Every structure is written in structure tokens, then in C-alpha cells.
Amino acid sequence: MMVKGGADQVPPFIALTGGIGAGKSTALAALERLGAAVISSDAMVHALYDLAEVRDAVVAKFGPQVAPGGVVDRGQLATVAFATTESRAWLEALIWPLVRDGISAWRKGTEAMDPRPRALVVEVPLLFEGGQESAYDATIAVTADEHVRRARASARGHRAVDEREARQLSQADKAARATYVVSNDGDIDELQRELSSVLAMLGV
């Protein structure tokens, strides 16, 4: 947990979450500019699928169509893996422990940095859905107007947005469970000011 006090202060360990298109990556970059050390669990998953043992495991489970040319197609994998509760549970059991180990190693390394960052922030899209919030000192939910979110998701080429949304808590539910909520309906400067206020409330 967070310990306050001069050079010995341990940075707060924070999870950043939000719905599809809310602007989690934008918020993560803003927090880094504000002096936080940041990491994306989604980026970690991307890297895990590049590992031969992970790729081979998903191919053995779901077939070669999820890794054309030997490279995991995350969109195709999601379509197949989330078709049933059993297959989704299998994939989560494969990936989530590896992600947790990666985050733990990252946290240990960044806490030892000199000077220490203001905070350690992990972007976790399915934070509450996975029951992971208790591992963090605080949580931040990024929200945005529904029309804005959908436009952003479409512009980035997200496939099957409705299906992905159906697997997540609503934006309102995420906001209700979070320690802090920041709106991303304005410009980047406005978002960064909101996030700066959150860090100030955390005492860093």
C-alpha cells in the first residue's frame, strides 16, 4: 500500500480502466507526462501472443485459423474464444496469470527507480470484470459520451464492438466501482488537468 513521506514514499499502485473508446490509452499517456510510470496490460497480452508457447497453446485449442502465417490474429482469436464460456475461461486461465506475473515484476522494478515515479499506473480494460481491483491502492475509470466512444472505436477498426461491449460492465458500472472518475469528453489538456487533480488527491 501507499506510504507517504519524503524520499521513502512508495508510489501508489493504480489501475486505469474504462469502456471501449473511452480514451484509456490517451489517459495513460497523460499520466506518464505527469510523472507516473505506466504500463498497459493489453500491450502485455499482445507481447504474450508473440511467444511460441502461447501461440502454440491457442492454436492447439482453437485451430490454425487463429494464427495465420504463425502470427496470432487477436480479432479472430477473440471471435472463437469468446463464443462459449468454457473457451473464454480457458483463454483467461492461460493469459491472466502471465499478465499478473508481468505486472508484478514491472511493479517491483519501478518501485526501485531513483527518483521514484509519482505513481505506478496499469491500464486494465477488464479490471472489475476480472475482480482485480483489490490488488490496487486506487482505481480510475475514464468515461466519455457514448457517441464519442463508438466513433473512436469505429475509427480504430475495432471489430464486433457490440459483442465486446456485451462482455464488459457498462460505463456507468465501471464509474460506480472506481475510486476516481475522469471525463474524456474534452481535449487532452482538460483530461490531463483532471488526472493531475487525481494524483494530487492521492498525495503525490
CB 87 within 8 A of CB 62: yes
Instruction: Give me the pLDDT at residue 158, please.
Output: 53
Q: What is the CATH number of the domain that holds 29?
A: 3.40.50.300
Q: Give the pLDDT means over successive 10-residue stretches in the chain (204 positions).
A: 52 94 92 97 93 96 94 90 90 93 94 91 92 95 85 62 67 95 92 96 91
Is 6 inside any structural domain? no
CA Rg value for the chain: 18
Q: Are residues 124 and 111 in the same domain?
A: no
- DSSP conformation class of 3: B
CB 191 within 8 A of CB 23: yes
The set of cell numbers assigned to 122 is 496499469
Q: Are residues 53 and 16 in the same domain?
A: no
The pTM of the full predicted model, rounded to 2 decimals, is: 0.85
Is 1 inside any structural domain? no
- Enclosing domain of residue 174: 12-36+120-204
> Which parts of the chain fold into alpha helices (H)?
24-33, 41-48, 52-62, 74-81, 85-111, 146-155, 161-166, 171-177, 188-201
Instruction: Give me the pLDDT at residue 4, please.
Output: 41
Nearest residue to 102 (alpha-carbon basis) of 124, 81, 133, 118: 124
Give the three-class secondary structure for 24: helix
Which residues are CB-contacts of 50 (< 8 A; sequence separation ≥ 6)? 72
| Number of structural domains in the chain | 2
Where a domain ends, among 71, 89, 116? Answer: 116
Nearest residue to 116 (alpha-carbon basis) of 7, 199, 4: 7
Q: Are residues 30 and 126 in the same domain?
A: yes
